[in-house]
């Protein structure tokens, strides 16, 4: 549930007091990116916040784009309070860019990723992220492939996500 996971991440940041939440998303052409953007927008709307196109940047889900786009945000906007990344890899790259500017996730800026990759537990600080049931998804994908090969009609399936709160977020509202 890409949309639901993004919604929960942004909702969490809003409940922490953040009012200006950047979103570093994946490529605009990917359905996953569109779904996560919809979750971001829905959370803002449900909390009476305006959607600002200037707070959305598109990367490629990889470390380097998170790093580069975070540097762009810092250069253009200066003080920032929260960034939601559409992947943990981009979030980890972003944390490196913040660190190079003397800022720390969980102390100066709230950072949330998406995917709960194993490395997310080992970053400094450990990354708050949206977890997906990867093993279930892989098993179901294999089942669906077999159904397709056997001529059985398949339907889309939405797997639940879960927000895993670690130490990369902090109460906000100051920027």
Domains and CATH numbers, the chain: 2-133+160-164 (3.40.50.2300)
| Of residues 154 and 117, more confidently modeled | 117
pLDDT at 137: 61
Show the CA angle centred on residue 24, arms to residues 101 and 131, nearest 5°.
Answer: 105
Q: How high is the pLDDT of residue 159? A: 63
Instruction: Dump pLDDT digits (tens) for 1-43.
Output: 899 999 999 999 999 999 999 999 999 999 999 999 999 999 9
Q: Does residue 152 register a pLDDT over 50?
A: yes
Q: pLDDT tens digits, residue range 93-142?
A: 999 999 999 999 999 999 999 999 999 999 999 999 998 866 776 676 77
- pLDDT surpassing 60 at residue 48: yes
pLDDT for 163-173, tens place per residue? 999 999 998 76
Beta carbons of 170 and 106 less than 8 angstroms apart:
yes
pLDDT of residue 141: 72
Rounded to two decimals, the pTM is: 0.86
Q: Which two tokens stand for residue 125?
A: 């600080």
Mean pLDDT of 44-53: 97
3-state DSSP call for residue 5?
helix
Residue 87 has pLDDT above 80, yes or no: yes
Residues of 59-90 as b/e, b for ≥16 C-beta within 10 angstroms? bbbebebbbbbbbebbeeeeebbbbbbbbbbb
Please tell me the predicted confidence (pLDDT) of residue 175. Answer: 43
Please state the separation of Cα 102 from the chain's center in Å.
Answer: 22
């Amino acid at each position: 549930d890409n949309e639901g996971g993004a919604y929960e991440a942004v909702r969490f940041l809003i409940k922490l007091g953040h009012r200006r939440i950047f979103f570093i998303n994946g490529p605009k052409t990917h359905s996953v990116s569109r779904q996560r953007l919809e979750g971001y927008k829905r959370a803002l709307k449900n909390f009476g916040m305006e959607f600002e196109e200037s707070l959305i940047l598109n990367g490629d889900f990889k470390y380097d784009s998170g790093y580069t786009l975070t540097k762009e945000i810092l250069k253009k906007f200066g003080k920032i309070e929260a960034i939601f990344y559409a992947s943990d890899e981009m979030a980890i790259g972003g944390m490196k860019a913040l660190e190079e500017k003397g800022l720390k996730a969980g102390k100066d800026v709230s950072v949330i990723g998406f995917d709960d990759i194993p490395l997310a537990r080992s970053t400094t600080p450990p990354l708050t992220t949206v977890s997906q049931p990867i093993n279930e998804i892989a098993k179901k994908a294999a089942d669906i492939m077999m159904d397709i090969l056997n001529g059985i009609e398949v339907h889309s399936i939405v797997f639940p996500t879960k927000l895993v709160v670690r130490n990369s977020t902090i109460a906000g509202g100051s920027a």
